């Protein structure tokens, strides 16, 4: 990965809120220890070789919401391995970091809060539902001389400012992922100007109409395959619980709300009137026209050899048996069928991939180590 070039919160703890109990706490401890490790790497002026080098004496340039003692007690050897190597990699890549003691490292706290508070002023209407989709940084590497600015007129202006601060290596948001055993850290900069893209490769519906209540949109991006599972995530037929879940190595994973997906469909040029919105799903009393439209779309997408009349009867039987299945399958199939007809599947896949990667048109520059 190329080095960062100088050519140009508590973080609402969205990450923590998506997890629960011990998992969220381990995340907080790991992120804090990463900041402590970076401060120690800076203090010692050389690469780290052992977590024991991180002491109260070496972490003066870290500001975290978990103590070093708790971090050391709450993490395992694999975390220590990952954190040490990632700290060394960060200092290898950031120009000027190896010389002097120029940086402060933050995990949570008032300064991080202030970064996200400024973005939250523009959250409404941005198409982004959570802090992590604007910038998923787990720690911040900030020059001690940096004076953060606020009060920008638009999100575009604030993102441009954050880009310039990143390019000047003054304020760098860093997203982290635990290394696997024996793994080496690699970095990638997101939202530096060139948008991520994805190409639609197919759809999976199951061997027959009743196999499952989900469907999968398949895509590739950067020569990696991925897919989006679309389904209802409730045992009841509640349209608001229908959403997508990103799977595969092409994106970081996680869920994307159904409302966001449909906003994305409209954002790429599909008229609202042409979409079967989740809130408009005929759950209790579908008409014959609803069943026929569903069966026709299913036949087209699945390549089924069954006659349309038989598929209509199967859809009616499925609805009588399980309204949750009906709602979930109906929303997914009608969406994909419409987007394919509009020849916009590459655009929709790109939108979903960008959102999952915190790389929407309104997201902020950051670097990810994984």
* pLDDT digit string, tens, across residues 240-278: 999 999 887 655 567 899 999 999 999 999 999 999 999
For residue 255, list its beta bridge partners: 245
Distance between CA atoms of residues 266 and 280, nearest Å: 16
Q: What is the DSSP string of 132-166?
A: HHH---SEEEEETT-------SSHHHHHHHHHHHH
Q: pLDDT value at position 282?
A: 96
Do residues 71 and 32 touch, judged by C-beta distance below 8 A?
yes
Q: Over 80: is that where the pLDDT of 2 sits?
A: no
pTM of the prediction?
0.86
Q: Over 60: is that where the pLDDT of 88 sits?
A: yes
User: What is the average pLDDT across 300-304?
Assistant: 94
Picking from 149, 146, 157, 112, the residue whose alpha carbon sits closest to that of residue 132 is 112
In the chain the first and final C-alpha atoms are separated, in Å, by 11
Specify the DSSP element, H or E, that contains 244: strand 242-248
User: What is the average pLDDT across 146-167?
Assistant: 98
Q: pLDDT value at position 299?
A: 96
Q: Over 50: is that where the pLDDT of 331 sits?
A: yes
Q: pLDDT value at position 252?
A: 55
Q: Over 80: is that where the pLDDT of 8 sits?
A: no
User: What is the average pLDDT across 129-144?
Assistant: 96
The pLDDT mean for the chain works out to 92
Least confident of 18-22, 138-142, 155-159, 299-303: 18-22
Distance between CA atoms of residues 285 and 314, nearest Å: 16
**Per-residue pLDDT tens digits for 230-248:** 999 999 999 999 999 988 7
Do residues 88 and 76 touch, judged by C-beta distance below 8 A?
no
Distance between CA atoms of residues 311 and 208, nearest Å: 10
Q: Over 60: is that where the pLDDT of 333 sits?
A: yes
Q: Over 70: is that where the pLDDT of 97 sits?
A: yes
User: What is the average pLDDT across 64-79?
Assistant: 97
């Amino acid at each position: 990965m190329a080095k960062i070039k100088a050519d140009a919160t508590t973080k609402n703890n969205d990450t923590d809120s998506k997890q629960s109990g011990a998992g969220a706490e381990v995340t907080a401890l790991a992120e804090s220890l990463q900041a402590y490790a970076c401060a120690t790497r800076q203090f010692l002026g050389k690469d780290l070789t052992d977590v024991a080098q991180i002491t109260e004496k070496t972490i003066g340039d870290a500001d975290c919401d978990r103590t070093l003692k708790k971090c050391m007690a709450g993490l395992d050897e694999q975390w220590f391995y990952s954190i040490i190597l990632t700290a060394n990699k960060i200092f290898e890549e950031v120009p000027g970091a190896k010389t002097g003691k120029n940086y402060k490292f933050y995990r949570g706290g008032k300064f991080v809060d202030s970064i996200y508070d400024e973005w939250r002023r523009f959250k409404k209407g941005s198409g982004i539902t959570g802090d992590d989709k604007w910038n998923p940084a787990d720690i911040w590497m900030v020059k001690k001389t940096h004076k953060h600015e606020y009060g920008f007129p638009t999100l575009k202006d604030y993102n441009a400012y954050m880009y310039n601060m990143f390019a000047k290596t003054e304020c760098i948001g860093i997203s982290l992922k635990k290394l696997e055993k024996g793994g080496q850290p690699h970095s990638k900069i997101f939202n530096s100007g060139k948008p991520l893209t994805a190409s639609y490769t197919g759809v999976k519906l199951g061997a027959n109409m009743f196999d499952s209540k989900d469907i999968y949109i398949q895509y590739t991006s950067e020569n990696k395959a991925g897919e989006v599972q679309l389904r209802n995530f409730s045992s009841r037929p509640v349209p608001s619980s229908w959403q997508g879940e990103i799977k595969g190595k092409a994106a970081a994973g996680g869920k994307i709300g159904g409302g966001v997906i449909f906003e994305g469909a409209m954002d790429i040029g599909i008229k609202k009137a042409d979409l079967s919105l989740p809130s408009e799903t005929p759950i209790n009393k579908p008409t014959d026209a609803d069943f026929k439209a569903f069966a026709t779309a299913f036949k087209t997408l699945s390549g089924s050899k069954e006659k349309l009349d038989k598929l209509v009867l199967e859809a009616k039987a499925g609805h009588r048996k399980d309204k949750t299945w009906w709602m979930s399958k109906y929303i997914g199939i009608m969406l994909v069928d419409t987007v394919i007809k509009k020849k916009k599947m590459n655009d929709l896949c790109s939108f979903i991939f960008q959102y999952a990667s915190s790389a929407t048109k309104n997201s902020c520059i950051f670097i990810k180590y994984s």
